[in-house]
Structure 1
Amino acid sequence: MIDSQSVKADAVVGSDSRGFDGGKLINGRKRHVVVDTLGLLLGVMVTAADTGSLVEHCPAALALVLAIVERGDDTRGFVVLPMRWIVKRFFAHLMRSRRLARDFERRTASTEAVIYWSMTMVMTRRMTRSRPTRA
C-alpha cells in the first residue's frame, strides 16, 4: 500500500524543499510511504508538499507498478477503502515519535532516515513483546 502524509515544516527547513499542500492547507513537506500488508515499511520518499512525483518514483526506485484506487462516483460520505487502514496505522506509529510530529530536518534525506529509524523501533518492539503461552 502506498499513501502520503503532509506535515508542517519547521523554520529551519529551506524554501527549496518546502511546498504548500492546497488540499490540506499545510506549508511543509509530504511523506510518501510504501508498506506491506503487515504495515512494515518498504520505502519512503520525502518531497515538498506541492510535488507529486510519486508516480514516476515507484517504477524507477522500487520496481512497483502504481495502481490508484479511487472511490466510485456514486459513493457518498466517508468511505474507508479496503486495506487502507494498514497505512493509516503506520502513520499513527510515526506520529508517536515526537521528532516526526513536525518536520525539523534541513534535508529530505535526513527526514527519510528518521522515518526508517522510527520504524526500526516499532519492528523491534513487535519482535520482543511477550506472547501468551499456550496451556
Structure 2
Amino acid sequence: MPGRKRGLAVDVLGLVVAVVVLAASAHENTVGIILLNRVATATPPGSVRTALVDQGFKNAVAAHGATLGITVQTIERNPADKGFVPQPKRWVVEQTYGILALHHRLVRDYERRPASSESRVYWAMSDVMARRLTGTSTPALRDA
C-alpha cells in the first residue's frame, strides 16, 4: 500500500483549521501551498496573518503565502541541540498529531482515497473538541 503524507494547519489551541493528505512522494512545498490555499479559503480574509512552518518547507511556500497575505516564518532548529527538542510554538502541531493518533483509524492509513483520510482527521478533531467542551478525557489507545 502506498504511503501518505498528512499536513495539518492548526490554531494556537491545536484545533485543526485545514488538512491535506497527499501521496508520500509529494514534496513538502506542494503540501504547504495546498495547505495555505485551504487556510485562506476556510478563514475570513485577513484573520490569518502568520503561519509558522518547520524547515521542510522552502521559499516557494513563503512566496505563495505572501500572495495570500500570510507571512510564513520558518522555525529553525538550533544546530547545537541533540535529540528531540520541542521547537517554540511548533509543539502545538506535534501535540495535535499525538492527540489524533489516539484515534485508531488515524494510526494507520486504512482509507483508499485521500479525501477519506482528510475526513477522518476532521471526524477525530470533532471528538477532541466535544471532549474538551464536556470535560471528559480522551481514552488511551489501549482502552478504546
Both structures adopt the same fold (TM-score exceeding 0.5): yes
Q: Who is 2:112 aligned against?
A: 106
Sequence identity percentage? 38
* Cα 1:32–1:59 shift into 2, 3 Å: closer
1:41-75 superposed Cα distances (whole Å, 9 cap, x missing partner):
111000111212123223433224433211244x2
* Structure whose residues are more often strand by fraction: 1
CA distance in 1, matches of 2:20, 2:77: 25
TM-score, reference length from structure 2: 0.65
Unaligned runs of 5+ in 2: 41-69, 137-144
CA distance in 2, matches of 1:37, 1:89: 11
Q: Who is 1:76 aligned against?
A: 81
For the aligned residue pairs, the C-alpha RMSD in angstroms reads: 1.7
Amino acid at match of 2:20: M
Unaligned runs of 5+ in 1: 1-10, 12-17, 19-27, 131-135
Aligned length: 104
* Cα 1:58–1:97 shift into 2, 3 Å: closer
Q: Which has the larger radius of gyration?
A: 1
TM-score, reference length from structure 1: 0.69
4+ residue segments displaced more than 6 Å:
none
CA distance in 2, matches of 1:59, 1:88: 18
* Structure whose residues are more often helix by fraction: 2
Amino acid at match of 1:35: V
1:124 to 119, 127, 130: 130
